Amino acid sequence: MDKTKILIIEDETAIAELLAYGLTKEGYETRTAASGAEGMREMERFRPDLLVLDWMLPDASGLDLCKKVTASFNIPILMVTAKSDITDKILGLEFGADDYITKPFDLREVIARIRTILRRVAQANANHGAKEEVAGEALRIRHIDIVRGERLVKNNGETADLTPKEFDLLMKLCTNRGRIFTREELLELVWGYDYIGETRTVDNHIQRLRKKLDANELITTIFGIGYKFEKDAD
């Protein structure tokens, strides 16, 4: 069986080596990069299953790199940073990170978080595959076309540039049309964690989906509760 591959983009050599050592001991295949440019080259060459990404890099912002990675690769991201402010944490999640851990950290916690992320991704892929066997590969809702296997979405025939989290959120809503989801439910189902008090992440993603897909009438707000995709959208 192939090992799970993890890329570590971290400019502090001691931290990068510690992470690589600990993750290798846990059975993962690792590579490190000390800059954003080197990290993007390794993304292409190494094709990791998960990215551990430092917020502050010598040549780039970790947030900008997070945005670039989520636009081109469908992999989970764990951000590691000295920033502990809740606003920074929310910002990282909104840029596409799946989880966030602050320095100094316990290596055991990093490994536990990585295991949780990978387990959630595996479960999501299994559920996604099972649904596709029943529901088929393509889905059309009014002016929106979705090709699930390619994670492709078109709005009136034009490709919509969705981030992985936006796509996952859209699929959760449109495959459960008529069901009302609370913000907390969507955080748990799409992001995989209970980010208490951080439901603004859901609101921002909903706003972007509506704008990118002209879906104000399709994705509706249920005041005081959450959101739903209209059942009669077909």
What CATH number belongs to 137-233? Answer: 1.10.10.10
Ordered by start, the domain boundaries in the chain are 5-123, 137-233
CATH of domain 5-123: 3.40.50.2300
82 vs 32, more confident: 32
High-pLDDT (> 90) share of the chain, %: 44
Please give the single-letter amino acid code of residue 94: E
Taking the alpha carbons of 51, 56, 57, 62 in that order, is the dihedral positive or negative?
A: positive
Q: For residue 228, how many C-alpha atoms fall within 13 Å in the half-sphere facing its CB?
A: 13
Tokens read off for 67 = 């945005």
Residue 197 has pLDDT above 80, yes or no: no
pLDDT by residue (tens digit) across 130-180? 444 444 568 888 999 998 878 889 999 999 988 878 888 999 999 899 999
Please say if the pLDDT value at position 22 is more than 80.
yes
Q: Which residues partner with 221 through β-bridges?
A: 227
Q: Supply the mean pLDDT for the chain.
A: 84
User: CB under 8 Å to 197, separation ≥6 — which residues?
Assistant: 86
pTM of the model: 0.62
Task: Give the pLDDT band of residue 98 (cuts 50, 70, 90).
Answer: confident
| pLDDT of 53 higher than 90 | yes
Which residue blocks in 51-198 are alpha helix, DSSP H? Answer: 62-72, 86-94, 107-135, 164-174, 183-186
